[in-house]
Amino acid sequence: MTGDQLNVVLLGAPGSGKGTQAERVGPAFGLPHISTGDMLRAALAAGTPLGLEAKRYMEAGELVPDEVVVGIIRERLADDDARRGFLVDGFPRTLEQARALDAMLTDAGRALTDVVLIDVPEEELVQRLSGRRLCRGCGKGYHTVFDPPRQEGACNVCGGELYQRADDNEETVRNRLQVYRRQTEPLVGYYSERGVLKAVSGGGRMPDDVFADLRRVLAGGTST
């Protein structure tokens, strides 16, 4: 039974802040943060067969095949820490993935409790993604204009080197946004019809304010 579990999907375009918010929401609600993008990047860095298979899709800003990501999620959701609730970010990204997720949860006697869309206007997404920088040491995110590090190229927290994700260059960013519109946006209708969709506004707002809205929505409040 789902009971008082929170089985949550964060939905939103690349650059909408899903990852940043998931890092806050996960600990606040005691939910493991599950990111298919992070798992695929880890596989790529480790040079596993999965990473090698995913590489060309990721570098082009295309989606990794459904059966691959569905397999990763199926395994991850069976882990002990995900059995009493989870927060997934970056999955599902296609209707087929959404149907597969519903089916695997139904088989386990569970269901999604909340799908929260973080809504950000397109122009802002391009700006955010192309200025994004990450720390090689601890993974902390920065933005060259909106949230620069104190010392250029170095992490405030651990001093690690900052780098740009290979798929955050402007051309790939535009392709990722197109892929989002074509393949992922239909999920808004899918989840809305099922009565689990909520939305928070993520445009032109500070991460703390978006987090406050997410907190309220997940605690049973209404969308912004």
Catalytic residue list contains 176: yes
Cis bond before residue 27 (omega within 30° of 0): no
**Burial environment of residue 139 by CB neighbours within 10 A (0 to 12, 13 to 18, 19 or more):** middle
Strand partners, 162: 135
Shortest distance (Å) from residue 90 CB to ligand AMP: 3
Q: Among this protein's residues, is 165 annotated catalytic? A: yes
1 vs 46, beta carbon nearer ligand AMP: 46
How far apart, in whole angstroms, are the C-alpha atoms of residue 47 and residue 51? 6
Instruction: For the CB of residue 64, give the shortest distance to ligand AMP in the complex, in Å.
Output: 4
Binding mask 81-100 for ligand AMP (x = CB under 6 A): ---------xxxx---x---
Q: Residue 119 in 3-state DSSP?
A: strand
- Taking CB under 6 A as the criterion, the residue among 7, 9, 11, 14 binding ligand AMP is 14
Half-sphere exposure of 185 (CA within 13 A, CB side): 12
Query: Which residues form the interface with ligand AMP (CB under 6 A)?
Result: 14, 36-37, 40, 57-58, 61-64, 69, 90-93, 97, 167, 176
Active site residues: 18, 93, 132, 165, 176
